[in-house]
Amino acid sequence: MEIEVIPAQAEQASVVANLLQLYAHDLSEFHDVHLGEDGRFGYPSLPLYWTDPERFPFLIRIDGRLAGLALVKRGSEVSGRSTVWDMAEFFVTRGFRRRGVGIQAAHEVWRRFPGPWEVRVMHSNVSAQAFWAATISTFVGETTLPDRFEKGGNCWSVYSFDSIASG
């Protein structure tokens, strides 16, 4: 399986928006997201990924087929640290899950952005908790435990770790 993490171009914004609909649908089981009157979940900050130099959109492809997305931004949603990299959103479609695709794609993203990282996961999303714990621990080479954080009435696990530049 060839896994590619490709920067999404501005003309692919609608593709990213469509993938975010699938992602939001999955998250609606665990997080307070609601459909708008237009029948879409929406993602108001999406246009910033092509105008803000501190935001980076990616498409994930498997053997050339679209399989997911990753949205990376500078600045923590949790700690307030402006220099930390934040995995704002990460999504692999169900048909590609449990095959190592997400692990490899996340590792590729982290190698592209050396420095401190934070990944936050809702406590209620048990499968995501397991995924991120394993993915981050594999990446850093040791068990990495999260800190607990509450924001907006939600409880989060926040993983903090460092990435080094890939050679």
> Looking at the predicted structure, is the pLDDT value of residue 167 above 50?
no
Question: How confident is the model at residue 40, as a pLDDT?
Answer: 66
Q: How sure is the predictor about 129, in pLDDT bands with cuts at 50, 70 and 90?
A: confident
Q: How sure is the predictor about 54, in pLDDT bands with cuts at 50, 70 and 90?
A: very high
pTM tops 0.85: yes
Question: How confident is the model at residue 7, as a pLDDT?
Answer: 97
Q: How sure is the predictor about 30, in pLDDT bands with cuts at 50, 70 and 90?
A: low
The closest of 42, 12, 17 to 28, measured between CA atoms, is 42
Domain harbouring 98, CATH code: 3.40.630.30
- pLDDT, average across residues 127-155: 88
List the single range of 41-50, 103-112, 154-163 with lowest mean pLDDT: 41-50
> Looking at the predicted structure, is the pLDDT value of residue 148 above 80?
yes
- pLDDT, average across residues 43-57: 91
The number of beta carbons lying within 10 Å of the beta carbon of residue 146 is 19
The number of beta carbons lying within 10 Å of the beta carbon of residue 80 is 8
Tally of domains within the chain: 1
Q: How sure is the predictor about 39, in pLDDT bands with cuts at 50, 70 and 90?
A: low
- pLDDT, average across residues 129-134: 91
- SS3 of residue 71 by DSSP: strand
> Looking at the predicted structure, is the pLDDT value of residue 56 above 90?
yes
Q: How sure is the predictor about 101, in pLDDT bands with cuts at 50, 70 and 90?
A: confident
Q: Are 57 and 16 in contact (CB under 8 A)?
A: yes
Q: Are 87 and 59 in contact (CB under 8 A)?
A: no
Q: 38: domain range?
A: 3-163
